[in-house]
Amino acid sequence: MRWLAVGALMLLVGLPALKGRADGKDEPKEAAKSKAAEEVDALITAHQKAVMEFYKDREEKLKNAKTDAERSAAIVPFTKAEATIDSLWDLVEKNPNDLEAAVKALRWLVTNAAYDEKNPKSRGRAWDMLIKDYAANPKIAPLMNDLAGLDYAYIPSPKMEEFLRAVLEKNPAREAKGKACLYLGDHLNHVVALVRRLKEQPAEANSMRGFLGIQETERLKEADPDKLAKEMEAVFEEANTKYGDVVLYTNPVTMKKTTVADRATGELFEIRHLAVGKEAPDIAAEDLDGKSLKLSDYRGKVVVIDFWGNW
């Protein structure tokens, strides 16, 4: 999640600008972006615009196509990403010490660069740079939320796990460690789900090989989901007890802070009480006649609970 800044600007005619807060202390100023970071933002924005225009144009061509040949000619992939990839790699290599610029660029590259590990501009190389050059940097803590979004529930990246474990092991900043610990639990949760899916539907391994590679897919096929689930629970417990007060983000409207403990507690409750095979927590309510009832009153019977809402 990104942090949003909400502020108000007051203009007083004929008076100098007022500084500071009611307590006499100056408000912390947001650090100015470096030139390299601005270039990264501009490249990514231009790429997004090009993608939107490409698909808008393609949709228009499909809409106006009158023959199968015209429709086939209109269905072409977007092929202009290479220029953005080259430019971002160039910026990373020229500005390795600019943390914000490098991490932003690498974050985009691990999502958009090629899978081919023989390619010097592959996503694997981008992950390796994040792990080797930036996992131990204490200033990476504020960027951890964005990096966590690189792991997908349906295709958890082994490089993401390597990165998070490297942050936990090497980074001196408690904020970075806390976020890494929580996000490692999230990652293992995704892995457990995928391993169980592969056990239940072995044929899905064929499609997974294209994303994870043959070696990683085979490793997951042989993995023990119950053992992984225990490790996941232990990681969430560690996040809750050791790093619970670390703030993940602040709601820009209510200014309410969400901490590692808030997330970890919810995950632990789901693991221990809502997972298949676990005893459901008791529920107290009233039936249609206003009579009190509890879920535990129906122990030993088949019960269907329908949760619904209307907004």
Condensed to tens digits (0 to 9), the pLDDT of residues 165-221 reads 999 999 999 999 999 999 999 999 999 999 999 999 988 888 888 777 788 889 999
> Using CA atoms, how far apart are residues 247 and 173, in angstroms rounded to an integer?
13
Between CA 207 and CA 162 the distance in angstroms is 23
- Looking at residue 31, its pLDDT comes to 61
Q: Which stretches in the chain have pLDDT values below 50?
A: 1-28
The single-letter code of the amino acid at 155 is I
What is the number of other CB atoms lying within 10 angstroms of the CB of residue 133? 16
Contact between 92 and 102 (Cβ < 8 Å) = yes
Instruction: Please give the structure tokens belonging to residue 123.
Output: 């996503």
User: For 240-274, how does the pLDDT look when each residue is reduced to its tens digit (9 = 90+)?
Assistant: 999 999 999 999 999 999 999 999 999 999 999 88
Question: Do residues 74 and 65 lie in contact, with contact meaning Cβ atoms separated by under 8 Å?
Answer: yes
Q: What is the pTM of this model?
A: 0.77
